[in-house]
A and B are shown apart, each in its own frame.
Chain A
């Protein structure tokens, strides 16, 4: 208890030092978290890119923006790839829920969940006649547990299962997109037909991505489309990769470097400043040791002192980040990171106070 009081006194003794130290932690943590967030976003995207690359994905360029003509055979072909073989997916972004016109909706059809790491959020969908609704980490207009109604030709109600992790991403043609602000429906091609009939089929076809598909089958698919009067040019994702996604890689590397440098900088400056804080008090600690304090008591005092300096700015940084809508994972991460530092540093401080040294330290002029 005495050590606790002394530690609080230590903090209040130099209010300016305390404020500056706390400010430093706050700013550094803030940058660190922000960098981590960017980094995660870019990693999620890269993950998806890797999958698309490994699977030799193909998407299509259509000659016209007008209505697409297609045969039943082609629709069946797509349905087989998307639902049974899980070798294709498509993305619909034009769907909106009634009353929620300002909340974007991403409808992932077929193997969308597998490609973008959302498989486990699809657990409810036991067969191809089901769909499940999730929301991105920052969606505010609806909540987990709300029931939404959707469908064009047939209405159906579904409960919102939960939130996707922050920084979930998907790739639509050349762009990496975030799911954080969207309502996300994971569904099958068959279910799509049931609910919307042909209403969104145009978008579905334009946005479909095929992977690991035999090139003869693709050639036949394109030929059949041509026969209906629709020109489709296949685009290999891997070829595009170097043009469009190269910069993503570069960004990710830059971000990683930035993140590592920031972490290093934060860690070094935090360590130096903390050691300085302890050094300032070291003579006093030594005097206490000389006149009867035990090393454990001083350790307690240093711990209380450092935690008292570190907890307020962490709480502040975390609550600000929380309000900005970042995931909970950072919270635990941040707390863990910040608890380790005072522990390590108190040990460094204590090593300066070995019993054979205390008298010399006690004699130093503060």
Chain B
């Protein structure tokens, strides 16, 4: 059976001084194209570490990660960069926007590294259409520091989408938003899944977790079955 992403006994330990923290312990999971998955669990149970390993941002201590059935344990940095740029769209905690850039400049970042390279006009078209999609085209020239939380998250989503990735990795995308805005953002993410994108989302919000096709519960680095 073909899976878009498969983790086999993915394991991560951190050593800080004398302490060894096992953040994720032998997690085996599969993700299929066009599905939505919520990862939930108490603080410190390893959700972020897991999603970062899947997104090639944190190297696993042991275990295998397969993307399109290709093993990623021995991948070189050039390949990894390419996947970061084109295969994954990251929505991280706190938005990770560049405050002194305007909306346009923030969303344009992934396009600066696109391969093959895009010219200025192509980049502008792509940025405008994605801003349209997330519904804040009218803010295109504003500095992001002047935006509300919900608007910032829309910019962050636009940036994650602009290079048309297969998989959207969202770490608490509604963490700092009020209930109403959270719902709006979640609906936006769901609409992307309907278009065929794959969503893997860490959340503390049970309502949003219920809204996903699948919920994976974690505790102390393990899956709760």
Contacts and interface: CB of A to CB of B under 8 A. Distances in A.
B110 A291 contact: yes
B92 A291 contact: no
A2 B112 contact: yes
A291 B88 CA distance: 9
Given A290-B90, A356-B59, A359-B57, A283 B113 contact: no
Interface residues of A, number: 23
B84 A366 contact: no
Interface stretch (A172-180, A239-247, A271-279, A292-300): A292-300
Interface in A315-366: 355-356, 358-359, 362-366
Interface stretch (B29-37, B94-102, B200-208): B94-102
Contact of B113 (A293, A358, A365): A293
Contact of A291 (B84, B93, B101): B84
A290 B58 contact: no
B85 interface: yes
Nearest to A288: B109
Given A292-B114, A358-B57, A284 B85 contact: no
Contact of B109 (A287, A358, A363): A287
A292 B113 contact: yes
Given A363-B93, A363-B96, A291 B57 contact: no
Nearest to B109: A291
26 contacts: A2-B112, A283-B96, A288-B112, A290-B84, A290-B90, A290-B92, A291-B85, A291-B90, A291-B109, A292-B82, A292-B86, A292-B109, A292-B114, A293-B113, A294-B77, A294-B113, A295-B77, A355-B59, A355-B77, A355-B80, A356-B59, A362-B92, A363-B93, A363-B94, A364-B94, A366-B99
B163 A292 contact: yes
Contacts of A297: 113
Contacts of B78: 294
Given A284-B98, A366-B99, A292 B92 contact: no
A362 B52 CA distance: 13
Contacts of B97: 287
Nearest to B159: A291
A363 B114 contact: no
A155 interface: no
A287 to B, nearest CB: 5
Nearest to B55: A359
B19 to A, nearest CB: 17
Interface string B47-88: 000001000011100000000000000000110111011100
Contact of B81 (A283, A284, A294): A294
Interface residues of B, number: 29
Given A362-B92, A366-B99, A292 B110 contact: yes
A333 B99 CA distance: 40
Contacts of A2: 112
A157 interface: no
Given A359-B57, A359-B92, A363-B93, A292 B98 contact: no
A363 B90 CA distance: 12
A357 to B, nearest CB: 9
Contacts of B94: 363-365
Contacts of B80: 355
A287 B98 contact: yes
A13 interface: yes
B96 A290 contact: yes
A17 to B, nearest CB: 12
A359 B86 CA distance: 17
Given A287-B109, A356-B58, A359-B57, A292 B84 contact: yes
Contacts of A294: 77-78, 81, 113
Nearest to A363: B94
A2 B117 CA distance: 11
Interface string A292-316: 1111010000000000000000000
Contacts of A356: 57-59
Contacts of B163: 291-292
Contact of B57 (A284, A288, A355): A355
Top 5 A-B pairs, shortest CB-CB distance: A292-B85, A292-B113, A362-B96, A291-B110, A363-B94
A223 B94 CA distance: 97
Interface in B100-155: 100-101, 109-110, 112-114
A355 B94 CA distance: 19
B81 A292 contact: yes
Question: Which residue among B113, B114, B159, B163 has the maximum number of chain A CB atoms within 10 Å of its CB?
Answer: B113
